[in-house]
Amino acid sequence: MRQGNIIKLVALVLLVAAAVALSIKPLMDPVKGIPLGLDLRGGVHLVLQAEQDKDGTPITKDDIDKAKAIIANRVNDLGVSEPIVQADYDKKRIIIDLAGVTDPDKAVDILKTTAKLTFRDTQGNVVLKGDDLKDAKGGQGQQQGQFVVNLTFSSDGAKKFGDLTTKLIGQRLGVYLDDKLLTNPTVNTPILNGQAEITGYDTLEAAAEDAVLMRSGSLPVSMSIAEKRQVGASLGVDSLERSIQAGLYGLIFIFLFMLIFYHLPGVVANFSLIVYALIVLWVFWMFRVVLTLPGIAGFILSIGMAVDFNIIIYERVKEEIRAGKSLRAGVESGFSRAFVTVIDAHVTTLIAALTLYAFGTGSIKGFALTLGIGIIASLFTAITFTRFVLRLTVGISPKMKTTWFGVRRDA
C-alpha cells in the first residue's frame, strides 16, 4: 500500500510533467494554437451599423443577411486567418474581427465601400450593371509591369455586353465603382465571349483589391462604423509578452505563498494548480476561445481563485485534525464538508460571470468566458485531481506527522 502510493505519485508527477512539456508547442502554435485576440496580435474590430435610407424603408433581416454574406466574402479575400463576421439582427449590426490583418486601414476601406460596379456611356447613362458580372480577378496584363482586372460575365451579361460593345464601337466606355471612374477604355472590337479586361493598374494588389469589390457586389444597405478598435501588430505582441510575464510571476509568488503556509499540502496545491492551468488552456484550445487582454487578466485572476479551493479544504482538514480525527479521516471529512462550502461560494461567482457574458460586448465577453471556464475547471480539478493526490499522499504512511499539514496538536 505504502510503496504503491509512492510509485503512483511519482508516476503522476512524471505524467503531468510530460503533459506540460507536450502541451507547450500545440497550445502556442501561431496557427493551430489558442487563437489570440486582436489586442494581442494587432488587427481591427469593427461594428457596422446599418442605417435606414432617406425614404425610411425598414431594414429587414434579409438585408442584414445579404450584407453579412457580402462582407464575409470581402473579408475572405483579405487573407486573414480565422476572421469573425457576425450579424446582430436586433440591433441591425455586423460585427467584424480581423485579428492579425497587416494593413487595417486598407481592410476598413474595403469593407466599408458600397461598391456598385456600373458601365456607362459617354453621356454618363448606365448601360450595364455589375449584377451581370460573374467573376472578377486581378491578373498580369499583356505587357510586363502592367496589371488588369479580368471580368467574366454571366451568359445573360455576356449577351448584353456583346450588344453594347457592338453599338458603342469607337466610343469610350466608362467603368465606375460607385461614382469613381476606374478606367475609360475605347471599344475597339465587339466583345462577344463575355470576357473583358480592365487595364491600367500599376500593381497586382491594386487590381486584386478592385476585383474583390467588383465581384462581391454592393451592400444592400448603407453602413456606418459604430465602433472601431484598431491595434498595431507590434503593440499587440508587446501586450502579449507583458501578460505572459505577469502570469508567470503571479504563479511563482502564489506557489511560494502556498509552500510557506501549507507545507506538504501546499505542494499538492501547487501541483493541482499546474493541472488546473493545463486544463483551462486546453479548453480554450478545444473551443477556440479567443484570448484577449482582459481574458488573460481573467485567467490570472482565476488562478488566484482556484487556490482558494485548496485553502478552504486544507483549513477544514486542519480543523478536523485538531478536533481529534486521524489524518486520513480528517482529509475525508474535511473534503466533503469543504465541498458544500465551495459549491455555494462558486455558484455565486459563476452567476456574476454568466451575467457578464450575457450583457457584455467584445472584450468583456472574453473576460467573462475565461472567468467562467476557470471557475468550472477549478471545481473539476479540486474534486478529481486534488482529492486523489491528497488521498495518495496521506495514504503513504499512517504515522505521517500532522505538522506537515501545518497542524500542531498538543496531545
Partner 1 sequence: MEKNGHTATYDEVQKLHPLYFNIVKKRYWWFAISLIIMIPGIISLFMQGLNLGIDFKGGTMLDVTFKKAVSQAAITDTMKSVGLEGPVQLSNGDTAALIRTVALEEGKRSELLTALETKVGEYDKTNIKEDKVGPAMGQELTRNAIYALIIAMGMMIIYITVRFQFVFAISGILALLHDVLVVVGIFSLFQWEIDSTFVAAILTIVGYSINDTVIIFDRIRENEAKMKRSDTYEDMVDKSIWQTMRRSINTVVTVLIALLSVFILGGESTRMFSLAMLIGVFTGAYSSIFIASQILLEVKDHMKKPREVARRSALKP
**In the window 75-134, what residues touch partner 1 (CB under 8 A)?**
105, 108-109, 112
One symbol per residue from 376 to 405: x for binding partner 1 (CB under 8 A), - otherwise; what is it? ------------------------------
Three-state secondary structure call for residue 83:
coil
The alpha carbons of the chain give a radius of gyration, in whole angstroms, of: 31
For the bound state, the minimum distance from the C-beta of residue 44 to partner 1, rounded and expressed in Å, comes to 8
Which positions from 234 through 253 interact with partner 1, judged by CB under 8 A?
234-235, 238-239, 242-243, 245-247, 249-250, 253
For the bound state, the minimum distance from the C-beta of residue 254 to partner 1, rounded and expressed in Å, comes to 5
Whole-angstrom Cα distance, residue 15 to residue 23? 12
Give the binding range for partner 1 (CB under 8 A) out of 5-13, 139-147, 188-196, 257-265.
257-265
Give the binding range for partner 1 (CB under 8 A) out of 57-65, 136-144, 150-158, 366-374.
366-374
For the bound state, the minimum distance from the C-beta of residue 397 to partner 1, rounded and expressed in Å, comes to 19
352 in contact with partner 1 (CB under 8 A): yes
Which set of grid coordinates corresponds to residue 101?
A: 490583418
Other C-beta atoms within 10 Å of 296: how many?
Answer: 24
407 in contact with partner 1 (CB under 8 A): no
For the bound state, the minimum distance from the C-beta of residue 352 to partner 1, rounded and expressed in Å, comes to 3
One symbol per residue from 130 to 169: x for binding partner 1 (CB under 8 A), - otherwise; what is it? ----------------------------------------
User: How many helical (H) and strand (E) elements, i.e. helices and strands, does the chain have?
Assistant: 11, 11
> Measured on CA atoms in the order 220, 108, 101, 79, is the torsion positive or negative?
positive
For the bound state, the minimum distance from the C-beta of residue 327 to partner 1, rounded and expressed in Å, comes to 12
Residue 44: which H helix or E strand, with range? strand 43-51
Secondary structure letter of residue 287 according to DSSP: T
224 in contact with partner 1 (CB under 8 A): yes
230 in contact with partner 1 (CB under 8 A): yes
Whole-angstrom Cα distance, residue 12 to residue 393? 12
Q: Tell me which of 364, 376, 396, 400 binds partner 1, using CB under 8 A.
A: 364
Q: Tell me which of 94, 368, 369, 394 binds partner 1, using CB under 8 A.
A: 368
For the bound state, the minimum distance from the C-beta of residue 312 to partner 1, rounded and expressed in Å, comes to 6
Strand partners, 257: none
Whole-angstrom Cα distance, residue 251 to residue 267? 13
Percent of the chain as helix, strand, coil, to the nearest 5:
60, 20, 25
267 in contact with partner 1 (CB under 8 A): no
For the bound state, the minimum distance from the C-beta of residue 2 to partner 1, rounded and expressed in Å, comes to 22
Do residues 43 and 85 make contact, with C-beta atoms less than 8 angstroms apart? no
69 in contact with partner 1 (CB under 8 A): no
Closest C-alpha among 64, 210, 190 to residue 133 = 210
One symbol per residue from 25 to 64: x for binding partner 1 (CB under 8 A), - otherwise; what is it? --------------x--x----x-x---------------
Beta-strand relationship, 117-120 and 93-99: unpaired
Taking CA atoms, 275 is separated from 23, 281, 380, in Å, by 11, 10, 11
Which positions from 297 through 326 interact with partner 1, judged by CB under 8 A?
297-298, 300-301, 303-305, 307-308, 311-312, 315, 319-320, 322-326
Other C-beta atoms within 10 Å of 388: how many?
Answer: 14
Closest CB to partner 1 among residues 102, 397: 102
346 in contact with partner 1 (CB under 8 A): yes
Taking CA atoms, 304 is separated from 30, 245, 380, in Å, by 27, 16, 16
For the bound state, the minimum distance from the C-beta of residue 221 to partner 1, rounded and expressed in Å, comes to 16
For the bound state, the minimum distance from the C-beta of residue 42 to partner 1, rounded and expressed in Å, comes to 8
Q: Tell me which of 114, 362, 380, 392 binds partner 1, using CB under 8 A.
A: 362
Burial-class residue 85 by CB neighbours within 10 Å (0-12, 13-18, 19+): buried
Please give the size of the binding site for partner 1, defined by CB under 8 A.
80
Do residues 83 and 54 make contact, with C-beta atoms less than 8 angstroms apart? no
Do residues 92 and 49 make contact, with C-beta atoms less than 8 angstroms apart? yes
One symbol per residue from 276 to 295: x for binding partner 1 (CB under 8 A), - otherwise; what is it? -----------------xx-
Q: What are phi and psi of 13, to 5 degrees?
A: -60, -45
